[in-house]
């Protein structure tokens, strides 16, 4: 790789010293306008670009932030990552900062990796996604005094910056919506509660029930692996109940897809006999069977905001001032519908018997 032209080469080419050229390019006022112009033109012509390693070493900031890729047992795609990175990149590019991504194998690895990452001076800030309830990474990063923002929240989230969707409220809304459709036996398909988002959404489900004067039946909340398969097994447990639910809210779209499959496998039609609502708003849900009703949210916006927040904090602002709660909105497709009354059900079984 041909080493590009250095400051020294540019200086000798111009018959000036490096210090003069450097100041000319960086807009110092003690350089005559004539010289400044001459230097800038020469830099353009020779295609000079300051070596960033040298520059950053000198100015003392890495001008780089790092996104820690989430890792799950199920290696399923994380559809939101690409959009989040896109948004982060947009925010950073305004100031010419770089975006590093890092992923780790085990949880222990991850802590060691974070330690190495910030101690080695490579990065000026971190963003992490989907924290656990009591995420050891956050303590570590705080101890390291490295600026960071969290995409999501932990149980105790008072003393750091975060951007989150109010998923508790979203699940209240989802339950309200279903109650409005006449449902009263509403189930919850969830992910392991070590993830704070899983706990939040369960809480929302429960307060939604309470708000509508509905009893909380423990049989109606099923926790399973965070994947479409998990959604399927959880839903099967629900359908095996003596008195199965008439509506199901799922902690994610992926799990909802599994729920749809389980419902269909019993010869029932989601949106008719049973309502299913997801959470994420994946565009792909429009192609599910039937198209999935879901609580949607803007992922690219999340990336941009997280980037802006992190830069502000690095500039010295108080992290506590940067805590943003966004709302999800109901994206109604076809997997939800009014409660079928018992008469309807009986009609259906009679019809089926006659076939």
Cβ at position 145, least distance to DNA in Å: 15
Residues 6+ apart with CB under 8 A from 339: 181, 182, 183, 184, 246, 247
Per DSSP, the residues of 70-103 read ---SS----HHHHHHHHHHHHHHHTTT-EEEEE-
Half-sphere exposure of 248 (CA within 13 A, CB side): 40
The piece of 12-20, 180-188, 245-253, 262-270 that touches DNA (CB under 7 A) is 12-20
Cβ at position 45, least distance to DNA in Å: 15
Choice between 140 and 214, CB closer to a second copy? 140
Cβ at position 177, least distance to DNA in Å: 55
Q: With contacts defined by CB under 7 A, how many residues of the chain interact with DNA?
A: 29
Choice between 1 and 350, CB closer to DNA? 1
**Residues between 79 and 138 that touch DNA (CB under 7 A):** 121
Q: Taking CB within 5 to 8 Å according to partner kind, which of DNA, a second copy, none is near residue 7?
A: DNA
Contact present, 110 and 84 (Cβ < 8 Å): no
Contact present, 18 and 8 (Cβ < 8 Å): yes
Pick the closest to residue 178 from 98, 71, 295 (CA basis): 295
Residue selected from 1, 47, 60, 342 as contacting DNA according to rule CB under 7 A: 60
Q: Taking CB within 5 to 8 Å according to partner kind, which of a second copy, DNA, none is near residue 106?
A: none
Which residue ranges make up the site for a second copy (CB under 8 A)? 1-4, 47-54, 56-57, 62, 69, 75-83, 85-86, 89-90, 98-103, 115-116, 118-122, 124, 144-147, 228, 257, 260-261, 282-284, 286-290, 300
> Can residue 12 be called a binding residue for DNA (CB under 7 A)?
no
Cβ at position 178, least distance to DNA in Å: 58
Cβ at position 141, least distance to a second copy in Å: 10
Cα separation values, 320 from 92, 132, 150, Å:
21, 20, 12
Residue selected from 1, 2, 3, 218 as contacting DNA according to rule CB under 7 A: 3
User: Residue 162: enclosing H or E segment and its boundaries?
Assistant: strand 161-165
Residue selected from 35, 64, 78, 203 as contacting DNA according to rule CB under 7 A: 35
Residue 293's beta-bridge partner residues?
277
Sign of CA dihedral 62, 134, 231, 149: negative
Contact present, 139 and 162 (Cβ < 8 Å): no
Question: Both tokens of residue 59?
Answer: 């100015």
Q: Is 133 strand, coil or helix?
A: coil
Question: Both tokens of residue 290?
Answer: 């039937």
Q: Taking CB within 5 to 8 Å according to partner kind, which of a second copy, DNA, none is near residue 355?
A: none
> Can residue 267 be called a binding residue for DNA (CB under 7 A)?
no
> Which residues sit at the interface with DNA, rule CB under 7 A?
3, 6-8, 15-20, 22-23, 25-26, 30-35, 50-51, 54-55, 57-60, 121
């Amino acid at each position: 790789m041909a080493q590009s032209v250095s400051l020294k080469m540019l200086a000798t080419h111009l018959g000036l010293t490096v210090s003069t050229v450097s100041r000319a390019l960086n807009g110092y006022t003690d350089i005559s306008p004539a010289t400044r112009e001459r230097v800038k033109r020469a830099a353009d012509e020779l295609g000079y670009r300051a070596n960033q390693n040298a520059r950053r070493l000198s100015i003392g900031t890495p001008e780089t932030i790092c996104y820690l890729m989430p890792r799950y047992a199920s290696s399923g795609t994380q559809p939101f990552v690409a959009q989040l990175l896109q948004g982060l990149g947009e925010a950073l590019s305004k100031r010419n900062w770089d975006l590093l991504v890092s992923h780790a194998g085990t949880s222990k690895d991850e802590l060691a990796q974070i330690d190495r990452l910030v101690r080695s001076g490579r990065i000026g800030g971190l963003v992490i996604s989907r924290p656990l309830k009591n995420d050891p990474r956050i303590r570590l990063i705080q101890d390291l005094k490295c600026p960071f923002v969290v995409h999501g929240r932990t149980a105790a989230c008072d003393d750091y910056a975060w951007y989150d969707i109010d998923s508790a409220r979203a699940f209240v809304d989802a339950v309200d919506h279903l109650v409005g459709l006449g449902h009263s036996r509403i189930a919850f398909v969830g992910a392991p509660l070590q993830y704070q988002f899983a706990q939040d959404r369960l809480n929302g489900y429960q307060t939604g029930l309470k708000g509508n004067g509905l009893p909380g039946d423990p049989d109606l909340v099923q926790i399973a692996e965070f994947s479409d398969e998990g959604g399927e097994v959880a839903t099967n447990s629900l359908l095996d109940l003596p008195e199965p639910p008439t509506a199901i809210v799922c902690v994610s779209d992926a799990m909802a897809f599994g729920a749809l499959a389980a419902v269909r496998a019993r010869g029932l039609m989601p949106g008719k006999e049973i309502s299913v609502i997801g959470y994420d708003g994946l565009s792909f849900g429009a192609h599910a069977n039937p198209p999935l009703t879901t609580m949607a949210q803007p992922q690219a916006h999340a990336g941009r905001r997280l980037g802006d927040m992190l830069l502000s904090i690095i500039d010295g602002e108080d992290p506590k001032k940067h805590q943003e709660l966004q709302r999800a909105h109901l994206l109604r497709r076809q997997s939800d519908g009014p409660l079928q009354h018992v008469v309807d059900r009986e009609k259906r079984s009679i019809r089926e018997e006659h076939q």
